[in-house]
Amino acid sequence: MATGAESSEGITRRQLLARGLGSGLAIAVAPTSASQTPTAPSPLPKVTIAGVTIPRMIVGCNPIGGWSHMCRNMTLAMTDYFTLERTVSFLRSCERVGLDVWLAYWDEKPRKALKTLWASGSRIRPYFLGTLDDNGKLSRDILEYRPIWHVHHGNVTDMLFRAGRQSQVHDFIKRVHDELGIPAGISAHNPDCIKYAEEKGWEADFYQCCLYYVTRPHEEIRAKLGAAPLGEPFLDTDRDAMLDVIRQVKKPCLAFKILAAGRLCDSDWSVEEAFRIALSWIKKTDAIIVGMWPKYKDEVAQNVALLMKYGSLT
């Protein structure tokens, strides 16, 4: 979910602090104020999923929550940057250009941010990831925050399928419909989970699909490649595999990690190419999720421009 552009030529913004660059470069790429993000020149492309019309790009939450998918120092840099005040300012800058749907997460900071935004007249629309609890029950707490959807958490989806307990994912979908009365989706990193749900005719309204199978067990990677990486596996063949599934299933899909958690952000060209590939492969009923960390660059403006360039439905 966390994505964006480079901070300087050849250096990903996710790696900037972790590489310990000197203050000279930091000055050369001074932060862009969220207030400088321009208003969208024309309406953003939109799709309708489960009766909800949304922009074709949803604002992700990984940088805000500090899930860098890189290293501890990068995680700390993200959470240090995204104070409550900056989180609110960032979401306002997104809403100003038409990005009014946010994949939030269930914690104090995002809840306070939403209340602060709404108190000032914002119409930002959140949704959350969730699971059933240990007793198979579904929390109703999220309803206070008016979510447009509720989505089964991708990491847990992968784990339950691996353990042969995929029926719990199906139960989540049915409970969200019956008990919360809102649309329900399934998130996954393993494309086989999405294919299974589609083949079985589960009542999910849509799927949320990671372009990289980052939860793949290391023993499976060793069997496939003869070795395993240190940390999460971002394999270049994974993107095409999930994009193929997205095109095959009939239900709408939300593609996330289109920039491989910053690994495709070494240059403006690589960022643009990632947007082009994702938006040209997904169906016209689909959208993308992009997290942003605008400490060094106005990533909101950059990503909106790429959405307009490659995500138009006309």
Query: 247-273 pLDDT, tens per residue?
Result: 999 999 999 999 988 888 889 999 999
Nearest to 214 by CA among 11, 50, 68: 68
238-249: average pLDDT: 98
* pLDDT tens sequence across 60-95: 988 998 787 877 888 888 899 999 999 999 999 999
pTM of the model: 0.85
Under DSSP, the state recorded for 4 is -
β partners of residue 48: 53
Position 57 in a domain: yes
pLDDT value, residue 99: 98
pLDDT value, residue 106: 93
Nearest to 179 by CA among 231, 125, 132, 219: 132
Find the domain containing 224 and state its range: 13-117+207-310
Position 289 in a domain: yes
Nearest to 268 by CA among 6, 11, 29: 6
179-188: average pLDDT: 98
What type of residue sits at position 196?
A: Y
Q: Is 58 a residue whose pLDDT tops 80?
A: yes
pLDDT value, residue 117: 98
* pLDDT tens sequence across 190-227: 999 999 999 999 999 999 999 999 999 999 989 988 99
Inter-CA distances, 17 with 12, 70, 75, 87, 261, Å: 10, 11, 10, 20, 15
Position 306 in a domain: yes
Alpha-carbon distance of 216 to 220, in angstroms, equals: 7
Query: What angle is formed at CA 75 by the lines to CA 69 and CA 78, rounded to 5 degrees?
Result: 115
Letter string b/e over residues 281-305, b meaning 16 or more CB atoms within 10 A of that residue's CB: bbeeebbbbbbbbbbbbbbbbbbbb
For residue 192, what are its two tokens?
């086989």
Position 173 in a domain: no
Band (32; pLDDT cuts 50, 70, 90): very low
Position 223 in a domain: yes
Q: Is 14 a residue whose pLDDT tops 60?
A: no
Count of domains for the chain: 1
CB-CB neighbours of 201 under 10 Å: 7
Q: Is 17 a residue whose pLDDT tops 60?
A: no
Position 214 in a domain: yes
Position 51 in a domain: yes
Position 61 in a domain: yes
Alpha-carbon distance of 116 to 91, in angstroms, equals: 11
